[in-house]
């Protein structure tokens, strides 16, 4: 059972970015299942590894498109991305906290951040980019 199910309301309208968002939600669901099945440590490690590349590749992808199309909210959007990078970094440094606790904290962080970020910040660039570059810009 998934903790987050992809819904149409999450779509930004930019297909390539929506696909990447679905990848992150899929990882959040895997972390949820790992915690449910008492494999917290594996879930934590796998999610942190995924986030290492995701926060670089996906954030760069979004920011590149926003810059290319002169999206006026780019600076604020970058701040929101940095907040997640900082929060994950902070969590990684607290290795003294138990892995079970960190896994639960990461799940909570991602669940709240992702939904708020996609539904608020990402959807704002969606209509803008779609009107200028179309759904299939990459
Ligand atoms: Fe974003």
> What tens digit of pLDDT does each residue of 73-93 get?
999 999 999 999 999 999 999
Average pLDDT over every residue of 84-105: 92
Average pLDDT over every residue of 4-8: 94
In a domain, 5, yes or no: no
- Provide the pLDDT for residue 96: 76
In a domain, 73, yes or no: yes
Q: Which of 60, 50, 46, 44 is nearest to 24 (CA)?
A: 50
Half-sphere exposure (CA, 13 Å, Cβ side) for 16?
16
* Cα-based distances in Å from 76 to 6, 66, 115: 25, 11, 17
In a domain, 4, yes or no: no
In a domain, 83, yes or no: yes
Least confident residue range of 6-10, 14-18, 92-96, 112-116: 92-96
In a domain, 49, yes or no: yes
Question: Contact, 122 vs 47, CB < 8 A?
Answer: no
Split into its structural domains, the chain has a count of 1
Q: What's the gap in Å between 134 CA and the centre of ligand 1?
A: 18
- Provide the pLDDT for residue 47: 97
Split at pLDDT 50, 70, 90, the class of 126 is very high
In a domain, 7, yes or no: no
Average pLDDT, the chain: 95
In a domain, 17, yes or no: yes
Distance CA 35, CA 43 (A): 7
Return the CATH number at 102: 1.20.120.50
Q: What's the gap in Å between 55 CA and the centre of ligand 1?
A: 10
Q: What percent of the chain has pLDDT over 90?
A: 93
Q: What's the gap in Å between 105 CA and the centre of ligand 1?
A: 21
Question: Contact, 13 vs 135, CB < 8 A?
Answer: yes
Range of the domain at 105: 12-133
Distance CA 23, CA 33 (A): 15
In a domain, 138, yes or no: no
Residue 69 burial (C-beta neighbours within 10 Å; 0-12, 13-18, 19+) = middle
pLDDT at 95 over 80: no
Q: What's the gap in Å between 22 CA and the centre of ligand 1?
A: 13
Q: What's the gap in Å between 48 CA and the centre of ligand 1?
A: 18
Tell whether pTM > 0.85: yes
- Provide the pLDDT for residue 40: 96
């Amino acid at each position: 059972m998934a903790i987050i199910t992809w819904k149409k309301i999450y779509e930004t309208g930019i297909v390539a970015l929506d696909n990447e968002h679905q990848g992150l939600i899929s990882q959040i669901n895997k972390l949820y299942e790992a915690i449910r099945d008492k494999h917290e440590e594996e879930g934590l490690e796998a999610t942190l590894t995924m986030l290492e590349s995701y926060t670089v590749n996906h954030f760069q992808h979004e920011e590149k498109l926003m810059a290319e199309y002169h999206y006026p909210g780019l600076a604020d959007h970058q701040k929101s991305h940095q907040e997640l990078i900082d929060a994950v970094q902070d969590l990684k440094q607290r290795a003294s906290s138990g892995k079970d606790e960190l896994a639960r904290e990461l799940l909570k962080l991602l669940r709240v951040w992702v939904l708020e970020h996609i539904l608020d910040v990402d959807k704002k660039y969606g209509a803008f980019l779609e009107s200028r570059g179309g759904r299939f810009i990459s």
